[in-house]
Amino acid sequence: MIVGLGTDVLEVARMASELRERTGFRDAVFTPAEITYCEGMRYPALHYAARFAAKEALFKAVGANAQSGMRWREAEVLREESGRPRIVLHGSTRELAERLTVDEVFVTLAHTAELASATVVLESRRESGAGRQRG
């Protein structure tokens, strides 16, 4: 059963500006593994933007009433060997997902030179009691 759905779109130029102008932004939002991945790419801002969009999409999927305590670096967007993206939850963000009966987090990323987008689906395999509070 789907218990949450979120999507986000971000301008790559806006992410490039944030990275350039806001001291500490990168380290406050992204994990060391995410930074290593993005900095190893030809256009880092494009990959940062896609990961930021995924984190925003996750927050939207969880819902506004439940977002309290979620932290940027506790939602880590990684890449499997196959190239498939995945989100690994840590700390209070993982605990929140468990309270919301989330068993699986699905994520897809897309980008052009100008835009990055992500969609997140939260799934529960539990038959009853699944879902989140709505506001």
State how far the alpha carbon of 68 is from the alpha carbons of 55, 59, 63, 71, 87, in Å: 14, 10, 10, 9, 19
Tell me the pLDDT of the chain averaged across its residues. 91
- Give the pLDDT of residue 128: 53
Residues 6+ apart with CB under 8 A from 84: none
Q: Please, what are the domains in the chain?
A: 2-123 (3.90.470.20)
Residue range 55-65, pLDDT digits in tens = 999 999 998 66
For the segment 39-67, the average pLDDT, to the nearest whole number, is 91
Q: Are 38 and 51 spatial neighbours (Cβ–Cβ below 8 Å)?
A: yes
Q: What is the C-alpha to C-alpha distance for residues 42 and 86, in angstroms, rounded to an integer?
A: 21
Sign of the C-alpha dihedral computed for residues 126, 5, 66 and 90 taken in this order: positive
Residue range 79-129, pLDDT digits in tens = 999 999 999 999 989 988 888 899 999 999 999 999 999 999 999 998 654
Q: What is the C-alpha to C-alpha distance for residues 118 and 111, in angstroms, rounded to an integer?
A: 9
Residue range 76-88, pLDDT digits in tens = 999 999 999 999 9
